[in-house]
Amino acid sequence: MRSTLQPIIEELVAARRTAKLSQRALGTKVGLAQSHISKIERGAVDPQLSNLLEVARALGLEPMLIPKRLVPAVRALTRPTIHGRSVEQLPTYRLDETDE
C-alpha cells in the first residue's frame, strides 16, 4: 500500500540527493540519527510532522498547505519551463547508435 506521505518523501529524497547530502549529513543538520533518516525515506516509520518540517527546511524546501482546488494552478506555476513551454511539452529526440 502506498503511503499518503510517499510523494512528500520522494521530494525530500530528491532534494537531499540534489544537495549532495548523505543521510548522515542531513541527520546531523536536523538532529536525527542517520538510521532514522533512512527509515523516513523508506517509509518504515511514520515521521512526526516536526521532523518532516525540519528535514524539508534543511533541504531548502518550505512545506505549505494550499486549498485543493488551487493545486493545478500551483503545479502550473512551479513546473519547469523553457521559453514559456513546460518541459513535458518539449519534443524529445533520441540518438540511435547509427546517428553518430
pTM: 0.70
Domain locations in the chain as residue ranges:
6-58, 68-99
Where are the alpha helices (H) located in 19-82, listed in sequence order? Answer: 23-30, 34-42, 49-58, 71-78
Average pLDDT over residues 8-26: 95
CA–CA distance, 52 with 90 (Å, rounded to integer): 34
Quick count: other Cβ atoms within 10 Å of Cβ 16? 19
Say if residues 79 and 88 touch (Cβ distance below 8 Å).
Answer: yes
CATH code for the structural domain at 6-58: 1.10.260.40
Residue 87, pLDDT > 90, answer: no
Average pLDDT over residues 85-100: 55
Look up cell 499518503; give the residue.
Answer: 4
| Res 89: pLDDT | 56
Write the pLDDT tens digit of every residue in 34-43. 999 999 999 9
